[in-house]
């Protein structure tokens, strides 16, 4: 492992040399991904190799060893941080009451649990110095980190030379993870300035490797745990999971992380994500990506993130959908893209959320089917309150949508319904339907909506009545002045003459004089 700003050049050179001798191959926790050649990737792989080598160590207690060329401590039975410090004081020490420095890779193995708890521990510093950085990993083992309600326990990277948090990712910095079977439990903890590369070393992580045949590991081999009243601040990823199951994230805060706030990835199933704050992260606040099923995202505040608020998707390469998730009762506002984004994923329920101040309130992208958007309050959307962009069989029902460009847009969709919504102060259209393809009878229903606003029209459809069933809608609409003038003329003047009258209003009596002169010449 490598670290410290003073040794960055040497570290990256050594990492490049290591990479040149390392064959491309699968990465534990992300099978099949070849080496990128990024020196940070090389460092992550060296940590992987060292952690794997810890299985061959059979200590009676905490023991100092070298694993794959990395100075390390292996803990093979239940222990506290103080126990480790007593056994290996050169690697784990207490420079001040309650402050503990970890100066090596620390690997917990063989089903053991490492406990890091207040009041004996107030702060854990993962040191970056002397060309390396400290990392804590439990492999088929568990981590229990517990502070106190009145004072969170801090786990952070620490640049010894700068005497402060390590802010450089290029030469690596500390992280904390559980890999394989085991638990990650944290209560009243602040995880700060952690992680340097994606996945297992991105900050705080719980991951398992897929089997050699590419199948998912059994539940007994997947990590789980509970993280409560904890903070994830200025990490690369606030927290990341892969092949985890049944984890609970409750009353936590994911704030100002460089990429994502909370990122459950491949087959992170059966999660409860409740009463959290995800704010001002570099990209999405909360993202479930690739095969994340049966998760509940409930009563969170997702605010001012650099991309979307809440995302359910099938991965960058449409690897696999995230299905049957519930996004319920959240407050999602002021994110740079969409409030709630669904792509390539189906049978998700977007219910009872308050979604304010995004370009799109709810955006459903191609490859999605059978999603429900119901009983949400969506306000101040720059373009669309709900945009179904190629998603099929979507129900948009019972929503209150205010101050949007268009309340609901259905584009290239089929068998979808927009029913029982209230749309007020629209600026372009209440509902817009366009881009239908294929045969008639697409099964689109626009019914029993209450629509008010101003602009070209309350309902605009570029399809015929056989394609779209429009009935029972109540409209209070302020059309543009040109539309009102045309309508009035059409009601009182014979067909065709209203245009001449309108031209007279605009151009004066010249049209009538021209017509009279032409008639005189004919005579």
Percent of residues, the chain, with pLDDT higher than 70: 83
Q: Of 157, 216, 149, 209, whose CA–CA distance to 178 is shortest?
A: 209
pTM above 0.85, yes or no: yes
| 296, 279 contact by CB (below 8 A) | no
* Confidence band of 17 (pLDDT split at 50, 70, 90): very low
Q: Does 3 score more than 60 pLDDT? A: no
Burial grade of 110 (CB within 10 A; 0-12, 13-18, 19 or more): middle
How high is the pLDDT of residue 34? 59
* DSSP assignment string, 422-467: EEEEESSEEEEEE---SSS---EEEES-EEEEESS-SEEESS-TTT
How high is the pLDDT of residue 510? 57
How high is the pLDDT of residue 81? 97
| 431, 449 contact by CB (below 8 A) | yes
Q: Is 166 helix (H, G, I), strand (E, B) or coil?
A: coil
**CA-derived radius of gyration, the chain:** 30
How high is the pLDDT of residue 483? 57
How high is the pLDDT of residue 389? 96
* DSSP assignment string, 215-238: PPPPGGGSEEEEEES-EEES-SSS
Q: Of 274, 187, 285, whose CA–CA distance to 230 is shortest?
A: 187
Q: Which two three-digit tokens encode residue 200?
A: 């297992």
Q: Higher confidence at residue 493 or residue 99?
A: 99
Instruction: State the Cα–Cα distance between residues 302 and 239, nearest whole angstrom.
Output: 15
| 296, 288 contact by CB (below 8 A) | no
How high is the pLDDT of residue 520? 47
pLDDT tens digits, 119-153: 999 999 999 998 899 999 999 999 999 999 999 99
- Domains (range + CATH), the chain: 5-403 (2.160.20.10), 483-522 (no CATH)
How high is the pLDDT of residue 499? 57
pLDDT tens digits, 361-404: 999 999 999 999 999 999 999 999 999 999 999 999 999 999 99
Instruction: State the Cα–Cα distance between residues 367 and 388, nearest whole angstrom.
Output: 11
- Burial profile 309-336: b = 16 or more Cβ within 10 angstroms, e = fewer: bbbbbbbeeeebbbbbbbbbbbbbbbbe
């Amino acid at each position: 492992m490598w670290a410290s700003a003073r040794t960055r050049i040497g570290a990256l050179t050594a990492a490049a040399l290591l990479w040149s001798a390392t064959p491309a191959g699968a990465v534990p926790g992300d099978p099949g991904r070849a080496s990128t050649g990024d020196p940070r990737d090389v460092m992550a792989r060296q940590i992987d190799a060292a952690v794997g080598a810890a299985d061959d160590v059979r200590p009676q207690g905490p023991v100092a060893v070298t694993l794959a060329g990395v100075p390390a401590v292996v803990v093979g039975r239940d222990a506290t941080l103080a126990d480790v410090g007593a056994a290996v004081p050169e690697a784990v020490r207490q420079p001040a009451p309650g402050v503990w420095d970890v100066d090596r890779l620390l690997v917990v193995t063989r089903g053991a649990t490492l406990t890091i708890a207040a009041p004996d521990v107030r702060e854990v510093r993962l040191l970056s110095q002397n060309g390396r950085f400290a990392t804590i990993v439990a492999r088929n083992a568990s981590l229990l980190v517990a502070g106190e309600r009145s004072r969170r326990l801090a786990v952070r990277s620490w640049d010894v030379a700068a005497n402060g948090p390590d802010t450089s990712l290029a030469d690596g910095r500390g992280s904390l993870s559980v890999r394989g079977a085991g638990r990650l439990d944290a209560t009243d903890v602040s995880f700060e300035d952690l992680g340097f590369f994606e996945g297992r070393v991105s900050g705080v992580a719980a991951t398992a490797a897929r089997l050699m045949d590419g199948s998912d590991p059994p539940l007994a081999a997947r990590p789980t745990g509970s993280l409560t009243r904890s903070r994830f601040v200025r990490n690369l990823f606030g927290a990341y999971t892969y092949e985890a199951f049944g984890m609970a994230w409750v009353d936590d805060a994911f704030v100002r992380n460089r990429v994502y706030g909370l990122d459950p990835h491949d087959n992170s199933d059966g999660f409860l994500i409740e009463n959290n704050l995800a704010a001002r992260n570099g990209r999405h606040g909360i993202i479930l990506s690739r095969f994340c099923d049966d998760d509940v995202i409930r009563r969170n505040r997702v605010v001012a993130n650099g991309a979307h608020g809440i995302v359910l998707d099938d991965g960058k390469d449409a690897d696999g959908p995230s299905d049957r998730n519930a996004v319920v009762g959240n407050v999602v506002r002021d994110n740079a893209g969409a409030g709630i984004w669904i792509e390539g994923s189906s049978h998700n329920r977007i219910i009872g959320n308050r979604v304010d101040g995004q370009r799109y309130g709810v955006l459903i992208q191609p490859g999605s089917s059978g999603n429900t958007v119901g009983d949400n309050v969506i306000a101040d959307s720059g373009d669309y309150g709900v945009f179904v962009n190629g998603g099929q069989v979507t129900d948009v029902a019972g929503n209150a949508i205010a101050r949007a460009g268009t309340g609901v847009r259905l584009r290239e969709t089929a068998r979808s319904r927009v029913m029982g919504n209230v749309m007020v102060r629209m600026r372009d259209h209440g509902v817009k339907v366009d881009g239908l393809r294929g045969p008639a009878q697409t099964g689109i229903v626009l019914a029993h909506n209450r629509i008010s606003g101003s602009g070209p029209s309350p309902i605009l459809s570029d399809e015929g009545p056989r394609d779209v069933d429009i009935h029972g809608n109540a409209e209070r609409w302020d059309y543009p002045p040109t539309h009102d003038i045309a309508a009035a003329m059409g009601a009182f003047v014979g067909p065709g003459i209203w245009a001449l009258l309108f031209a007279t209003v605009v151009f004066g009596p010249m049209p009538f004089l021209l017509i009279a002169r032409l008639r005189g010449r004919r005579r």
